């Protein structure tokens, strides 16, 4: 069943780019933007991450915690973080558990070819752990604006 605004956000526990275990419970009482992206250090994913980096001060000022999720491992996330000086947490989802829980591992079509992959999506999770808003088509160049609008802060 597809997640919707108002649903309880699926709980998770995974590692971040530094090997720390992170769970959704760690962010109770905070606004979270949980964004799923296909792969570290690829063109569109880098534009998206850098948009969040460049607007990080605004997001932080508004009390929004950014968590990026992709199927890459810790080492890949660490390189991506260092290369682009990303100030936020990147979560490891090699087994696709998070992607499946949030319904973002799906069939995609690229140049007429069908394949399974991450659908670029962002879940805005409120202080009570409920989904406030879902950005089903995250735009790499304007992702921060989409997040702020989703929270009604635009």
Q: What is the pLDDT of residues 139-154, one digit of tens each?
A: 999 999 999 999 999 8
When divided into structural domains, the chain yields a total of 1
Report if residue 3 sits inside a domain. no
State which residues form the domain around 53.
32-150
Report if residue 24 sits inside a domain. no
For position 49, what pLDDT does the model report? 97
Residue entry with tokens 């932080």:
60
Report if residue 91 sits inside a domain. yes
Report if residue 6 sits inside a domain. no
Alpha carbon 133 to its chain's center? 13
Question: Whole-prediction pTM value?
Answer: 0.96
With the C-alpha atoms ordered 78, 81, 82, 84, is the resulting torsion angle positive or negative?
Answer: positive
Report if residue 11 sits inside a domain. no
What is the token pair recorded at 112? Answer: 């007429």
Active-site residue identified among 22, 32, 45, 49: 45
Report if residue 98 sits inside a domain. yes
Residues of the chain with pLDDT under 50: none
For position 110, what pLDDT does the model report? 77
For position 109, what pLDDT does the model report? 81
Cα–Cα distance for residue pair 16/67, rounded to 1 Å: 9
Angle at 30 between CA 151 and CA 19, to 5 degrees: 115
Report in angstroms the alpha-carbon separations of 68 from 1, 92, 113.
23, 9, 27
Report if residue 89 sits inside a domain. yes
Cα–Cα distance for residue pair 21/6, rounded to 1 Å: 27
Q: Furthest-apart CA pair in the chain: how many Å?
A: 44
Closest among 20, 1, 18, 3 to 121, alpha carbons compared: 3
CATH number at residue 132: 3.40.30.10
For 37, the 3-state DSSP assignment is: coil
Report if residue 94 sits inside a domain. yes
50 is catalytic: no
């Amino acid at each position: 069943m597809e997640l919707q605004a108002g649903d309880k956000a699926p709980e998770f526990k995974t590692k971040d780019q530094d090997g720390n275990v992170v769970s959704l419970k760690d962010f109770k009482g905070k606004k979270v933007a949980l964004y799923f992206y296909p792969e570290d250090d690829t063109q569109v994913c880098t534009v998206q991450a850098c948009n969040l980096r460049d607007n990080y001060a605004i997001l932080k000022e508004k009390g929004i915690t950014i968590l990026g999720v992709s199927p890459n491992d810790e080492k890949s996330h660490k390189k991506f973080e260092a290369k682009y000086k990303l100030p936020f947490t990147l979560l490891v989802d090699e087994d696709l558990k998070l992607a499946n829980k949030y319904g973002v591992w799906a069939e995609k079509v690229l140049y007429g070819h069908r394949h399974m992959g991450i659908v670029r999506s962002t879940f805005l999770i409120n202080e009570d752990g409920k989904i406030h808003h879902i950005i089903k088509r995250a735009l790499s160049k304007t992702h921060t604006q989409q997040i702020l609008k989703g929270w009604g802060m635009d």
